[in-house]
Chain A
Amino acid sequence: MTAPVLEVRDLRKYFPIRGGLTARLAAKVHAVDGISFDLHRGETLGLVGESGCGKSTAGKAVLKLIEPTSGTIKLEGRDITRLRRSELRPLRREMQMIFQDPFSSLNPRMSAGQIVAEALAVHGIGRGSERIERVAALFQRVGLRPDQMAEFPHAFSGGQRQRIGIARALAVQPKVIVGDEPVSALDVSIQAQVINLLMDVQEELGLAYLFIAHDLAVVQHIAHRVAVMYLGRIVELADKRALFGEPLHPYTEALLSAVPIPDPRSRHRKRAVLSGDVPSPVNPPAGCHFHTRCPYATERCRVEAPELRELKPGHFVSCHRH
C-alpha cells in the first residue's frame, strides 16, 4: 500500500473552562482525547458518533483550523502540527473543508462565481479570463450552470448551495477534503444527488475524504473505512463491511441497532437499546469511557481504559472483552 496522504497520531484537543475572578483554569473539556488514523488517496474514512463525541473538533484540528493540544498530523509525510500560519498557508491548498450548513458557510454579499473565484485568488491560481473559465468549468462539474455564477447565494436552494461549497473546495485541487456533516441539512431527495456528486468527483480526482457524519446509513454508503468515536476516543475502526457486518465494540453494536430501518418487516428485530445519556466530556468516566452505559461492563472497565488494538487485519477495537 502507498503511503497515506494524512497520518494522525494521538491527536488531542482540550478546551479550557475558566471560572472565577482570576479566570483560573476550572476544568477541561476533553473534546478529542487521543485519536489516531491514516487516510489514503482515493479513500473515504467515515468518522461517526453522536453529538459531543468530538468528531467535528477532530475534523477542525486535523485541518489546523483549531490548534491541537498535542499529537501529530502529517500531510504527505510532512509534519504540519507545529507549523505557523504563514508556513501553513501554501499547504491549505492541499486540504479543504465542506461545511454542514449551506446557508451560513457562503458569504451572502458575494456572487456564487466570486465565492469560488476567491479560493483561486487566495492561492494565486490563474488570473483574469482564465480564472473565470476555471470557475465556469467547476460550476459545470458540480452540476450548476455557468450562467448561475452571477447569482447570489440566496437565489440557490440548499442542495445547490452545497454544490457551490463543493466547487469552492475543489477549486484549488486539494488532496484531502474534510466534510463536516455535508449532507445532513439537505432533504432526502437532494441528499442523494450530493452524495453521488461527492463520490463521482472522488473517483475522478483521487481525492481523500474524511467524512464526518452522524447518519450511519449515509456513511455506510459513501465510506470505505469507518471510525466510531465515543467521548473523544475512537472505539472501533474497520473496513466498512467488517464494521457494519460484525461490529465488535458494544457501542458500535448499540449505535447500529438504534438506526431505524425503512422496512416495516424489520420492526420487531432484536435491538440493543442503550439506556442513559452520554456523560459529560468535562468529567469523562474513568477507565473505559463507555462503561457507564455498557451492558457488559466489568470491574476492570471501570478502572482501566482499553487500548485500541488490531484484532483482525485492519479491524481495530478498544474493548476489554476482546
Chain B
Amino acid sequence: MLEIEDLQTHLLFRGGTLRAVDGFSCSLRPGETLGIVGESGCGKSMTALSILRLVPSPPGKIVGGAIRLDGRNLLALGEAEMREIRGNAISMIFQEPMTSLNPVVTIGRQIGEAIALHQGLGRRAALERTVEMLRMVHIAEPERRLDEFPHQISGGMRQRVMIAMALSCNPRVLLADEPTTALDVTIQAQILALMAELQQRLGTAIILITHDMGVIAENADRVVVMYAGRKVEEAPVEALFAAPLHPYTKGLLRSIPRLDLSITADAGRHRLAEIAGTVPPLSQLPPGCSFSPRCPFATDICRREHPPLEEKAPGHFATCWHSSQVAGAGP
C-alpha cells in the first residue's frame, strides 16, 4: 500500500552533504503496525518527515528514491496535491503535543478545521464530527473541551486530541513519531491501548517510530532497525527479538535493563552489556559498514565494504557480513 524505495534524504550544508537517510526501502501493508527503532540521529524521524514531504528545507532535501501510496509517487506530486494528502490519506502525530498544537486556537476549532478542510463539511457537521472524534479517543465531556485551549488540559489529554485530529479524516496511514515518549508510563499504556483499539476499528496502517524496545515489542507487527541513516535489519517482531541477526540490534537488546528478567535471574547486581563507543556523527562515517568500529564481530571486509541488505530467513533481512555468527552467538 505504502512503498518506500531507495529513499535518499540529505542535509545540504555549505561544507558538505550529510546523508540523513541513505537508501531506505520498506513497505507497509494495510492495517499493520510497522515499528522503526533506532537511536537519536539514525534517520527515523527524517524518514517519516520525508513521507509527508515535510523535511525542513534548507538544509534538508529529498534527493532520490520514490514513495508510493497506492502506486502513486508522492515525490512527483505538486505542492497542492501533496496538501490534499497530508492529514487526509496520511497523517502524523508527534512526540510533544504542546508544540504541535496551536496554543491560541481552541481544541474544537483545531480539529474542526481539518475536518472542514479535507471532508468539505459545513460548520455544524464538522463540529458534530469533532465531538464524535473526542469521544472516540475517550475524552470525558467532549462538548466542554471544545472551547478549551491546549494549555488547559493535561499532557495525556493533549496527545489524545492530537490522535483525534490525526484520525479525523480516516487516514490510510498514521505516522506516529515517538507518540508516548513525553508521557508517563501509566498514560503511555492508555495511549498505546487507544491507538491499537482505533487501528482495529478503522483499519489504519501505523508506522510507529520509537527508541523504546519495549514499546516496539508490545505494539509492532514488523520492525525496522535503523543505524546512521540506513536500515540494518528488518523482521517480524517475534523473529527480531528471538533471533536478531545484526550485531547492533543484538547489542541494543542486551544493553537495556529488563524489568521482567532480572528480578528472578540475578540476586545481585550485574553489569549491563555495553555497546562500545558512540554513534559516529554523519559527517564522519567510517568506510565499509557504519557499525564496524563498535562491532565485536567486525573483520577486514566490514571495514572495507558495506554489506548488502540480504534476506537471511523468510521475511528477515539484515545488512551484515557475519549474520550467521551473530545468530549463533547466543542471546
Tell whether A and B belong to one assembly.
yes
Task: Establish whether residues B186 and A274, one from each chain, have CB atoms under 8 Å apart when the complex forms.
Answer: yes
Return the contact of A188 from the options B211, B215, B259 (Cβ within 8 A): B211
Q: Which of A245-301 contact B (CB under 8 A)?
A: 245, 254-267, 271, 273-275, 277-278
Count of residues in A whose CB is under 8 Å from the partner chain:
45
Q: Closest B residue to A203 by CB, please name it.
A: B269
Give the residues in chain B near A103, CB-CB below 8 Å: none
CB distance from A103 to the nearest CB of B (A): 13
Identify the interface centre among B184, B217, B257, B275: most chain A CB within 10 Å of its CB: B257
Task: Establish whether residues A264 and B274, one from each chain, have CB atoms under 8 Å apart when the complex forms.
Answer: no
Task: Establish whether residues B257 and A218, one from each chain, have CB atoms under 8 Å apart when the complex forms.
Answer: yes
Decide yes or no: A189 and B275 within 8 Å by CB, A244-B263, A264-B218 being known contacts: yes
A309 within 8 A of B: no
Decide yes or no: A264 and B185 within 8 Å by CB, A188-B255, A192-B273 being known contacts: no
Task: Establish whether residues B259 and A222, one from each chain, have CB atoms under 8 Å apart when the complex forms.
Answer: no
B283 within 8 A of A: no
Task: Establish whether residues B263 and A258, one from each chain, have CB atoms under 8 Å apart when the complex forms.
Answer: no
What 0/1 pattern do residues 181 to 221 of B give for CB contact below 8 A with A? 00011111110110000000000000000011111111100
Give the residues in chain B near A190, CB-CB below 8 Å: 278
What 0/1 pattern do residues 29 to 48 of B give for CB contact below 8 A with A? 00000000001100000000
Task: Establish whether residues A265 and B184, one from each chain, have CB atoms under 8 Å apart when the complex forms.
Answer: no
Decide yes or no: A261 and B252 within 8 Å by CB, A189-B275, A214-B185, A216-B259 being known contacts: no
Give the residues in chain B near A271, CB-CB below 8 Å: 189
Task: Establish whether residues A199 and B271, one from each chain, have CB atoms under 8 Å apart when the complex forms.
Answer: yes
Task: Establish whether residues A221 and B156, one from each chain, have CB atoms under 8 Å apart when the complex forms.
Answer: no
A50 within 8 A of B: yes
Count of residues in B whose CB is under 8 Å from the partner chain:
47
Give the residues in chain B near A274, CB-CB below 8 Å: 186, 189-190
Give chain A's interface secondary structure class. helix
Decide yes or no: A189 and B214 within 8 Å by CB, A221-B257, A265-B238 being known contacts: no
Task: Establish whether residues B39 and A264, one from each chain, have CB atoms under 8 Å apart when the complex forms.
Answer: no
Task: Establish whether residues A273 and B189, one from each chain, have CB atoms under 8 Å apart when the complex forms.
Answer: yes
A305 within 8 A of B: no
Give the residues in chain A near B156, CB-CB below 8 Å: 277
CA distance A266 to B217 in the complex (A): 9
Q: Closest A residue to B278 by CB, please name it.
A: A157
Give the residues in chain B near A50, CB-CB below 8 Å: 184-187
Q: Closest A residue to B239 by CB, please name it.
A: A264
Task: Establish whether residues B211 and A187, one from each chain, have CB atoms under 8 Å apart when the complex forms.
Answer: yes
Task: Establish whether residues A191 and B237, one from each chain, have CB atoms under 8 Å apart when the complex forms.
Answer: no
Give the residues in chain B near A187, CB-CB below 8 Å: 39-40, 211, 279
Give chain B's interface secondary structure class. helix
Give the residues in chain A near B212, CB-CB below 8 Å: 260
A193 within 8 A of B: yes
Task: Establish whether residues A262 and B274, one from each chain, have CB atoms under 8 Å apart when the complex forms.
Answer: no
Give the residues in chain A near B14, CB-CB below 8 Å: none
Return the contact of A199 from the options B40, B193, B262, B269 (Cβ within 8 A): B269
CB distance from B99 to the nearest CB of A (A): 17
Return the contact of B193 from the options A214, A259, A273 (Cβ within 8 A): A273
CB distance from B219 to the nearest CB of A (A): 8
Give the residues in chain B near A260, CB-CB below 8 Å: 188-189, 192, 212, 214-215, 217-219
Give the residues in chain B near A192, CB-CB below 8 Å: 255-256, 272-275
Give the residues in chain A near B213, CB-CB below 8 Å: 188, 262
Task: Establish whether residues A255 and B185, one from each chain, have CB atoms under 8 Å apart when the complex forms.
Answer: yes
CB distance from B185 to the nearest CB of A (A): 4
Task: Establish whether residues B184 and A214, one from each chain, have CB atoms under 8 Å apart when the complex forms.
Answer: yes
CB distance from A224 to the nearest CB of B (A): 8
CB distance from B200 to the nearest CB of A (A): 15
Q: Closest A residue to B216 by CB, please name it.
A: A262
CA distance A120 to B269 in the complex (A): 32
Give the residues in chain B near A217, CB-CB below 8 Å: 214, 256-259
B300 within 8 A of A: no
B149 within 8 A of A: no
Task: Establish whether residues A221 and B211, one from each chain, have CB atoms under 8 Å apart when the complex forms.
Answer: no
B154 within 8 A of A: yes
Q: Closest A residue to B185 by CB, please name it.
A: A258
Q: A188-B213, A263-B260 are in contact. List 8 more A-B contacts (CB 8 A).
A: A188-B211, A189-B279, A192-B274, A195-B272, A216-B259, A220-B259, A261-B214, A262-B258
A-B contact pairs, 15 of them (CB 8 A): A51-B155, A159-B278, A160-B278, A187-B279, A189-B274, A192-B273, A192-B274, A196-B274, A214-B185, A216-B185, A217-B256, A221-B262, A244-B259, A262-B214, A271-B189
